[in-house]
Amino acid sequence: MNDVFNPKLQRRTLLKTAAAGSAVAYAGLAFNPLTGEAAPLVAKDLNGSVGEPAVRQDGGLKVSGQARYAIEHAIEGMLYGVAVQSTIPAGRITAIDTQAASNAPGVVAIYTHLNPLAINPATPFIKGGAATENFTPLQDDVVRWNGQHIALVVAQTFEQATEAANLVKVSYAATPAIIDPDDSRAKAQPIDDLQARWGDAPAALASAAVRVEGVYTTPREYNVPMEPHACIAHWQNEKLTVYESSQWVGGARNVIAQWMGLEMGSVRVVSPFVGGGFGCKVAPHPHVAMACSAARLLGRPLKVALTRAQTFTSYGGRPRTGQRLALGATREGMLVSVVHDGWNETAIDDTHLEPSTSVTALMYATPNMLARHSIIPVNTVNPGWMRAPGENISTYALETGMDELAVKLDLDPIELRLRNWAAQDPKANIPWTSRRLREAYAAGANAFGWSERNPKPRSMRQGRELIGWGMAAGTYPVWRTPGEAKIVIHRDGRIEVLSAGTDLGTGTYTILAQTAAEVLDVPTRSVKVSLGDTDLPRAPIAGGSQLANNLTGAVYAAAKLARSELIRVATRDPKSPLHGMVAANLVFKNGRIKPSQRPGKGISFGDLLAALGKERFEISADTFKAGATEADRHAAAHGFSQMQLPTTGGVSAHSWGAHFVEVRVDEDFGTIRVKRMVAAFDSGRVYNPKLAESQWMGGMIMGIGQALFEEGHIDRRDGRVVNASFADYVVPVNADVPEIITIDVGLPDLQASALGGKAVGELGIVGVAAAIGNAVYHATGKRIRDLPFTLDKLLA
Ligand code: MCN
Ligand code: MOS
């Protein structure tokens, strides 16, 4: 197994492909497959460049409290708004008594549907916009879910607004609510676009020699970032600035402009630091609409912060889902049929998709496939994205089903997966850009010690503890949206990289500094990166795990251009000390431009600018195709229309992963602990191994939460989220997190992205719940098909 995972060997294969003239474009890329020179992957020196484990540039600012989050901006004359939320799941508001609240100290205004705020609907992204929900607050008396915004109380202080909000009295005429997706009145609506179908899967299943079938369910889960949602709306004449914790300032600007009936140019969104989002900050939620509208009416800056409890009903979270999956195979373990029917809950008059079919048709070769997905409207806040929406649950069912099939066939689960290897994308029928999943299986199994596993359930134990070893695969697509970046070199030597893209704690600041530093040959720490502001060059979403690839491409292009432009002026301008030199003889070394053949230190960027009489040198570049119009550029930064599918260009681009997990199960109490985790990932070229590792690990830890703890308890009587707090909505803490080893088996994939990277941010969670469930089965002989795996289900 070991020699399959040999980066050198693989590089040689890559060279051969390149020499044979494959379709990959290498021009201008730092990795040169023709010579095998992988400059950016090999640490030249500790100056920092792409591929080095540089520390996070924002780390110091965060631990010293200097990184300013949305809520921390202080604006003179600011007021505070607190939302009042419904306490029934369905019906109408018959009266709102605001008398006592209005008389409370410090109260400035109270808005309800009786004196509504002016808010226009914003277009949801499934209809081509950037909003995650249809809902516009305070526009009518209808209650659609428990915990819906029904009033906004504005006061001089947050405490006064909170007190007054408690004094608002609401009367309702309740109507019957549909709380649960399995309610007989709930109606599933098929989403035809999500279907994958070929051959005759039901017939092939019926005649298959070996069959497994299961129903897999997952509960409501919540993103619960450390930083709860908060925003500040600040109007200056008809210009609106919003400090908002956002994964995508361009999308937020689009939605806010629609809500307020403004041109996008009149809205500025600022989000330099984000305390986590995991999908719930991809678009501004309705409380932001209330803040902007009320601030406009009042002529004062207004801050609206959600309490932790309110974050559970003010926006989504992963919906409840259910999947029926049946696999049919030959006795030799060749899949002959996959039949997969899934659903997710959605809001009663809104649409959220968590496609259970995302991965079903991608992973394995099979002659017959039928995968379908439906949505079921219930009285809930519209669910939203949460780390790998779709891939996450799809993989949970598929990779558990594969384990069940392996057990039935008495085959090693890796062997079963290899037998059904998809040599190309089975749905699109086009080649993969790269798929180092075999290498991931091999490297992961090797590091884990998988060959020592006794496949028999309940065969491994230590004292009272049953030991279980399980594995599963994972994958995440490579989405691509073009973006822009600017580099500014100052006379005093400072180098800046500017982009509107955001850093959720992921490392955007750091990898962009690394990219510019590498091309300009300066220390990474000398590059200052500014992010998260619509005033900066336009960038796409930090969502769908695509920002790193998109922006490193743009910064790389800008830095290359800066380099050639600097050389051009240095050799052509008579005022330059390098005037008249041959451009090809100049090199960049440690922040200086110098002749390659002659001694001498050359000239620093700052001295060159001084000699030329310039204060600064600015250069912009992007990853748009030649001929892209201004409208295309605008669209890419503010919506999804420019986003390219993973199958663009006749090749299919995805990241891959293989998870190996050991659990310990206390036989008497049914408690499950994850004892160790090993995962091997193919994310193409990794820009920063330290950061990619923490991303992968973060996803894996979130996967422990999903497998063992996380579950929104919805009261069946009234649709209330019972455990809407950090105390009761349980996520993994350090004591729950075992030793984790991540292994990088990727190689630069230049068909996937400009610099050869693939998706990282969401990949780590995909497959974890299945791997843990498979390990629990191996430990106990009991198959649980309902997340999370709590002790009651094990003891039942
Ligand atoms: N990276 C790398 N090499 C690559 C690709 C990425 O080293 N080839 C590293 C970089 O440090 C980069 C990071 O991984 O900053 C994430 O890159 P990418 O996969 O492009 O993801 P995005 O930048 O688009 O970030 C969004 C992604 C998503 S969609 C969710 S959900 C998620 C995630 O990132 N939310 C997070 N990781 C998170 N991490 C933190 N701390 N907080 C969140 O809210
Ligand atoms: Mo990530 S769930 O695509 O923000």
For a ligand 2 pocket test, name from 280, 387, 765 the mutation site with the most ligand atoms within 8 angstroms of its C-beta.
387
**Structural contact between residues 626 and 408, judged by C-beta atoms closer than 8 angstroms:** no
**pLDDT tens digits for 522-562?**
999 999 999 999 999 999 999 999 999 999 999 999 999 99
pLDDT 10s digits, 78-124: 999 999 999 999 999 999 999 999 999 999 999 999 999 999 999 99
Of the residues 638, 670, 691, the one at which a domain ends:
638
d(CA 632, CA 644): 13
Q: What angle do CA 520, 526, 532 make, to 5 degrees?
A: 95
Mean pLDDT calculated for residue range 10-38: 35
> Is the residue at 653 inside a domain?
no
Q: Which atom belonging to ligand 2 lies closest to the Cα atom of 504?
A: 4
**Are 197 and 369 spatial neighbours (Cβ–Cβ below 8 Å)?**
yes
Q: What 8-state DSSP symbol labels residue 319?
A: P
Is residue 268 included in any domain, yes or no?
yes
Please report, for residues 201, 205, 206, the alpha-carbon distance to residue 336 in angstroms, rounded to integers and kept in the order given: 8, 7, 10
| Amino acid identity, position 265 | G
Strands of the sheet with 603-604, listed across from one edge: 586-589, 592-595, 603-604
Q: How far is the CA of 363 from the centre of ligand 1 (A)?
A: 23
What pLDDT digit, counting tens, does each position of 467-484 carry?
Answer: 999 999 999 999 999 999
Q: Is the CB of 279 under 6 A from ligand 2?
A: yes
Pick from 312, 343, 372: which residue ends a domain? Answer: 312
For residues 449-453, average pLDDT: 97
**At 487, which helix (H) or strand (E)?**
strand 484-490
Pairing state between β 239-244 and 230-236: antiparallel
Mean pLDDT, the chain, whole residue set:
93
Give the 3-state secondary structure of residue 392: helix
Beta bridge partners of 346: 377
Matching residue, tokens 């008497």: 668
pLDDT surpassing 90 at residue 598: no
Q: Is residue 606 part of a domain?
A: yes
Q: How confident is the model at residue 409 (pLDDT cuts 50, 70, 90)?
A: very high
Judged by its nearest atom, the ligand closest to the C-alpha of residue 389 is 2
Please tell me the distance from the alpha carbon of residue 214 to that of residue 106, in angstroms, as a whole number.
58
pLDDT category of residue 36 using cuts at 50, 70 and 90: very low
Helix (H, G, I), strand (E, B) or coil at 268: strand
Residue 774: strand, helix, or coil: helix
Query: Residues with beta carbon inside 6 Å of ligand 1?
Result: 225, 276-279, 387, 504-508, 511, 542-549, 683-688, 691-692, 695, 698, 757-762
How many angstroms does the Cα of residue 541 sit away from the middle of ligand 1? 11
Average the pLDDT over each of 40-49, 385-394, 501-510, 784-793 and give the range with the smallest value. 40-49
Instruction: Tally Cβ neighbours within 10 Å of residue 666.
Output: 15
pLDDT score of 20: 37
**Residue 757 CB–ligand 2 contact under 6 Å:** no
The ligand minimizing its distance to the Cα of 540 is: 1
pLDDT of residue 47: 52
Say which DSSP state 289 is in.
H
Cα gap 506→400, rounded to integer Å: 29
* Domain total in the chain: 2
From the CB of 544, is ligand 2 less than 6 Å away?
A: yes
| Mutation to probe ligand 1, out of 515, 760, 763, 765 (largest number of atoms < 8 A from CB) | 760
User: Does residue 146 sit within a domain?
Assistant: yes
- For 726-759, what is each residue's pLDDT tens digit? 999 999 999 999 999 999 999 999 999 999 999 9
Nearest to 733 by CA among 712, 708, 758, 756: 708
pLDDT band per the 50, 70, 90 thresholds, residue 29: very low
Q: In the predicted model, is pLDDT for residue 447 greater than 50?
A: yes
Q: Packing angle between helix 768-780 and helix 689-704, nearest 10 degrees?
A: 50
Smallest CA-to-CA distance from 623 within 532, 550, 538 is with 550
Pocket mutation for ligand 2, best pick of 762, 763, 765 (most atoms within 8 Å of C-beta): 762
Has residue 93 been placed in a domain? yes
Give the distance, in angstroms, between the CA of residue 160 and the centroid of all CA atoms in the same chain.
37
Model pLDDT for residues 754-794, shown as the tens digit of each residue: 999 999 999 999 999 999 999 999 999 999 999 999 999 99
Per-residue pLDDT at 24:
29
Domain of residue 280 covers 70-177+223-312
C-alpha 743/C-alpha 445 separation (Å) is: 11
Taking the model in full, what pTM does it have?
0.94
Q: Is 541 in the pocket of ligand 2 (CB under 6 A)?
A: no
Determine the Cα–Cα distance for residues 764 and 737; give it in Å rounded to an integer.
15
Summarised one tens digit per residue, pLDDT across range 150-209 is 999 999 999 999 999 999 999 999 999 999 999 999 999 999 999 999 999 999 999 999
Mean pLDDT of 213-229: 98
What per-residue confidence (pLDDT) applies to 83?
A: 98
Which atom of ligand 1 approaches the CA of 223 most closely? Answer: 44
600-605 long-range contacts, Cβ below 8 Å, gap at least 24? 602/578, 603/570, 603/576, 603/577, 603/578, 604/493, 605/489, 605/493, 605/495, 605/520, 605/566
Q: What is the pLDDT of residue 666?
A: 96
Is 266 domain-assigned?
yes
Q: Is 678 part of a structural domain of the chain?
A: no
The pLDDT assigned to 14 comes to: 39
Whole-angstrom distance, CA of residue 244 vs CA of residue 270: 6
Q: Which of 638, 657, 680 is the last residue of a domain?
A: 638
Does 340 sit in the ligand 2 pocket, CB within 6 Å? no
Pairing of strands 369-378, 335-347: parallel
CATH code for the domain in which residue 574 is found: 3.30.365.10
Instruction: Report the nearest atom of ligand 2 relative to the CA of 545.
Output: 3
Rounded mean pLDDT of 567-587? 94
Residue 488 lies in a domain: yes
The rounded distance, in Å, linking the Cα atoms of 763 and 544 is 10
How many helices (H) and strands (E) the chain has is answered by: 19, 28
The response to whether residue 316 sits with its C-beta less than 6 Å from ligand 2 reads no
* Residues annotated as catalytic (active site), given as ranges: 762
> Ligand 1: which atom is nearest the Cα of residue 547?
24
Is the pLDDT at 34 greater than 60? The verdict is no
User: Where residue 148 falls among pLDDT bands split at 50, 70, 90?
Assistant: very high
Q: Is pLDDT at 17 greater than 60 in this prediction? A: no
